[in-house]
Amino acid sequence: MTSAVSSGESITLKIDDKDISCRSGETILAVARENNIDIPTLCFMEGLSVWGGCRLCLVEVAGSPKLQAACATVCTEGMNVVTASPRLKEYRKMIVEMLFAERNHVCSVCVSNGHCELQDMAVKLEIDHVRFPYRYPHLQVDNSHDRARMDHNRCILCTRCVRVCAEIEGAHTKDVKGRGVLAAIIHDLDQPWGESETCTSCGKCVNVCPTGALTHRGTAVGEMQKKTDFLPYLTLMRRTES
């Protein structure tokens, strides 16, 4: 969730020199966005638990030697946050460049070309080339599922799919195996998706995936467009019912 349960107590802080007040317990990311201050994210998704893995939302907090992930840091009284220093911009660029270099993101022939959050992020961060050598790993496309397809070449390991499957659908079909560059999304006990016993074929993972890694089967280049509206709606409905 964006905000840990807020106690309702009002606090004040500064974000990018702007005086802001919020409820205690809210995260820097939530408060910044409420105040139209844009902090880029890839793994974060409203309605899912916070993962803090992509590190794009790193911000500077006065008095702290470490950069903090805005999605996972709760605001405190008198905090002074900087969201867009030259250093942060440079780090964010590097992070996205590394995502491109890590796997095979061939945008021009990708089903998500033109509708991809990673691509949009590169544009937003004004990335015009990648300074790191590409790894060109040999990765598989899992086309075994009847309705969806997993292309590991395009996965950025944001785990949105894992979280939506476990937290919203309740199936927990997906998970992450391995570490570092060897990490990969798996289904059940690392078997082809189509052989999964737990997958309900709900398609939620496809829609939350920011890239062309998860797509509907049968889509051609540039055709895959994700529908993410269901998520805040679903969470809202569940909250009002409970």
Partner 1 sequence: MPQTITIDGVTRIEGHAKITIQLDDAGKVYDAQFHVTQFRGFEKFVQGRPLTEMPGIMARICGICPVSHLMAAAKACDDILAVQIPPTAEKLRRIMNLAQMIQSHALSFFHLSSPDLLFGMDGDPKQRNIFGLIRDHPDFARDGIMLRKFGQDIIAKLGGKKIHPAWVVPGGVNAPLTEEVQDSILKEVPAAIERIDRALDYFHQIEGRYPAEEDAFANFPTLFAGLVTADGLLEHYHGPLKFVDQDASLVAELSPADQRHYGSLIGEAVEKYSYLKFPYFKPRGYPDGIYRVGPLARLIVAERCGTRRADMELGAFRTRLGRSPQSSFHYHWARLIEILYGIEMIQRLLQFPDILNTHIRARARPNRLEGVGVSEAPRGTLIHHYKIDDNGLIQWANLIIATGHNNLAMNRGVRQVAERFVDGNKLQEGMLNRVEAVIRCFDPCLSCSTHALGQMPLRIELCKADGEVCDVLQRD
Contact residues: ligand SF4, CB under 6 A: 155-161, 164-165, 169, 171, 173-174, 185, 199-205, 208-211, 213-214
Q: Which of 133, 220, 229, 239 binds partner 1 (CB under 8 A)?
A: 220
Contacts of 23 by beta carbon, 8 Å cutoff, 6+ apart: 3, 6, 7, 8, 9, 10, 11
CB of 94 to partner 1, least distance (A): 28
Give the separation between CA 51 and CA 160, rounded to whole angstroms.
9
DSSP β-ladder status, 58-61 and 80-82? antiparallel
Residue 225 touches partner 1, criterion: CB under 8 A: no
Residue 11 token pair: 């606090």
Binder of residue 52, out of partner 1, ligand SF4, none (CB less than 5 to 8 A by kind): none
DSSP β-ladder status, 80-82 and 10-15? parallel
Using CB atoms within 10 Å of the CB of residue 31, give its burial: 0 to 12 exposed, 13 to 18 middle, 19+ buried.
buried
Comparison of 60 and 188: residue with beta carbon closer to ligand SF4: 188
Beta bridge partners of 60: 82
Residue 144 touches partner 1, criterion: CB under 8 A: yes
Q: How many CB atoms lie under 10 A from the CB of residue 24?
A: 16
Binding mask 156-195 for partner 1 (x = CB under 8 A): --------------------------------------x-
Q: Tell me how far apart the terminal alpha carbons of the chain are, to the nearest angstrom.
A: 16
Q: Which of 102, 117, 151, 169 binds partner 1 (CB under 8 A)?
A: 151
Query: Of the listed pieces 33-41, 44-52, 165-173, 218-226, which binds partner 1 according to CB under 8 A?
Result: 218-226
Closest among 59, 28, 45 to 158, alpha carbons compared: 45
Binder of residue 149, out of partner 1, ligand SF4, none (CB less than 5 to 8 A by kind): partner 1
Binder of residue 40, out of partner 1, ligand SF4, none (CB less than 5 to 8 A by kind): none
The binding site for partner 1 (CB under 8 A) comprises 108-109, 111, 113, 140-144, 149, 151, 194, 217-223
